[in-house]
Structure 1
Amino acid sequence: MSAVWLLLATTLLCATHAPQCHAACVEVDSDTEAVAGQGFKLGCISCKMRGEVPATASVDWFFKAKGESEYEHIYNYEDKTPTITDERFEDRLDWNGSKKTNDLQDGSIYILNVTYNDSGVYQCFFKRTLSYTYYEFNTNATKIIHINVVAKATRGMASILSEVMMYVSIIGLQLWLVVEMVYCYRKIAAAGEEALRESAAEYLAIASESKDNCVGVQVAE
């Protein structure tokens, strides 16, 4: 039960101190299997090592199709402005990353109406400038994503294992709650029985004392 109270306390703390609570940045890998005719998110996240340092960043995407040896520049996002630079993706790429900020950490894009020609290797390139009091520091980060376009989605082993672990966690949590409830019930019941015994003993003691007092009064008379 202590873990539940800890979670509730953390939630209340963030609710009452919203300016101090910031979402953590986690570099999650992109999916690698797209379905022809559907949309697909190309995920690319590059977290800052020092979250408190202000920064600006730009994101460039490159694509190397199957059978090709060179990357082609297909997309740029800088100063909140997206630019599609490859006619193969004209009107098919949307920005799906950080919004309303130049301090980009999520550089994901979304492909509309995926085709088999979209199979290949994608490169996401972050260029970031960290602004300190007396100087600026430039850093770069690159993510490589291999995309395979299929006719029908297939469930990978990782997805199956994640779902199994989720159900195992839920069942384990329910069993833990049942054990806690049984333990608390027994503890309360034992405390109630103890209190009942103490009350009975106290009642008998009072009754015995009253009886002795009555006998004493009769003798005195």
Structure 2
Amino acid sequence: MSAEHELLLLPLALLVLQASLCHGACVEVDSDTEAVASEGFKLGCISCKMRGEVPATATVKWYFKASDELDFSHLYSYGDQMGDIIDPRFYERLYWNGSKHTRDLQDGSIYILNMTYNDTGTYQCIFNRVLMYPNYEFQTNTSKTIVINVVPRLTRGMASILSEVMMYVSIIGLQFWLLVEMIYCYRKISVAGEEALRESAAEYLAIASESKDNCAGVQVAE
């Protein structure tokens, strides 16, 4: 394979890789930590299953410790496609917002309606996953801790806003760079092809001229 073709395949491979990451990939994104009073709030908890080819089952348990409490209390459990609210403080306002089945459970997020200042505190999400190999089962536990502060209105920090803007700028810049690389490689290959055609035509004309001269020399000798 020529160097020009390798240069063309490189950006294409990057595009394919980016597309594969955008579809069906699991990314462990941290939960927001600032909730607004009287509004709904999603507590994010994602635990990616690293061995995608291995079947697994999982359950999720949530625990809560208010800002004026010393110990965690069992808040919520999810397993076998069923959720159970344990803490009476969250009755009728807590809903499952994660994966819909336990076979490929990676998102254990919950959603709380009508947040109050009493909901300020520390939340703990624990994933219990069982990987089912042909001859044995392997159990793993993942714990994530989220400190939530309930405020009258949302106040995003300037650093958070700038980081989000820079992320989108980086994505757009990468897309533009890939497009420029593809156009450059395509033009380079086209120019190389045209030069090869011109060289082939010149060689053909030279051979034809030489053959004609040889034929003329034979006729004179006769």
Separation of aligned partners in 1, 2:146 and 2:113 = 17
Is the CA contact (8 Å cut-off) linking 2:120 and 2:148 kept in structure 1? yes
Instruction: In structure 2, list runs of 5 or more residues that go unmatched.
Output: 1-7, 202-222
* Aligned CA distance change for structure 1 residues 169 and 140 (closer, same or farther; 3 Å): closer
Letter in 2 for 1:31: D
* Aligned CA distance change for structure 1 residues 165 and 34 (closer, same or farther; 3 Å): same
Q: Name which one, 1 or 2, has greater alpha-carbon Rg.
A: 1
- Which runs of structure 2 are paired with 1:38-53 in the superposition (5 Å)? 38-53=39-54
Instruction: In structure 1, list runs of 5 or more residues that go unmatched.
Output: 15-21, 200-221
TM-score under structure 2 normalisation?
0.70
* Farther-moved stretch of structure 1 (76-85 vs 128-137): 128-137
> Identity of counterpart residues, as a percentage?
52
CA root-mean-square deviation: 4.0
Question: Is 1:6 matched with 2:6?
Answer: no
* Farther-moved stretch of structure 1 (128-137 vs 78-87): 128-137
The C-alpha deviation readout for 1:4-26, integer Å capped at 9, x for no partner, is 522565689x7xxxxxxx83332
Question: Is 1:160 matched with 2:166?
Answer: no
- SS class of match (1:158): helix
Shift, 1:177, TM fit: 4.7
Q: Which residue of 1 aligns with 2:140?
A: 139
TM-score under structure 1 normalisation?
0.70
Letter in 2 for 1:98: S
The C-alpha deviation readout for 1:81-124, integer Å capped at 9, x for no partner, is 01111111111111111113344221111111211211110000
Question: Is 1:25 matched with 2:36?
Answer: no
Q: Which residue of 1 aligns with 2:86?
A: 85
Q: Which residue of 2 aligns with 1:118?
A: 119
Larger RCO, structure (CA 8 Å, separation 6 or more): 2
Equivalent residue pairs, number: 212
Q: Which residue of 2 aligns with 1:170?
A: 172
Separation of aligned partners in 2, 1:74 and 1:64 = 9
